[in-house]
Structure 1
Amino acid sequence: MDGPCGSVFVGQWTPESVGDYASGTNHVLPTYGYARMYSGVSLDSFLKYITIQSLTEEGLAKLGPHVATMAEVEGLDAHKRAVTLRLQDIKARQAV
């Protein structure tokens, strides 16, 4: 195999035409070198992926001060405030 490719046909009994019509893979593949960055069209092409984040109180207590500092350096006051308000809440509950 020489460089990026959209699909690989392994062995003498796997002609490209089988991939195009019968083996279950999709023959709509990236051209003009785009195989370096993109895969062939598949069900995944029509799905939207999202990321999910979830911190514990302990996690925010550890990460929060660093995040607040980065937000301050970037001048993102609302980002900083979103963290510092929660950190204050954590400290207040620990004091009780």
Structure 2
Amino acid sequence: SHDVGPAWALGYNLGYDLADGRGTFTYAMAIGKAINDRFGLYFEPYGELVSGSHYASFDAGLTLLASDQWQWDISYGTGINHRMNYTALGFSWLVLPNR
């Protein structure tokens, strides 16, 4: 990811998965904004190309930094050109300390 301004960050990812002889190209780009030292928002368009079909989706969420090593997040995602939606509650733990 890259900082793109005060309190803004941009992250992106390209991938290729091969399972059962079927290849899937994946992509994502996330834009994040720090609200303050503990809270942040993000918006992420993402998708996949599989067997000649394109599935476009996006999600958005709120993050809460509980400590230097613990973070909570809640998100909602939906399909743009296909039927899919989800709501998620997540938890992240930074195992290695900052150096």
* TM > 0.5: no
The answer to which structure has the higher helix fraction is: 1
TM-score interval, smaller chain:
under 0.3
Largest Rg, 1 or 2: 1
Normalising by structure 1, we get a TM-score of 0.21
The answer to which structure has the higher strand fraction is: 2
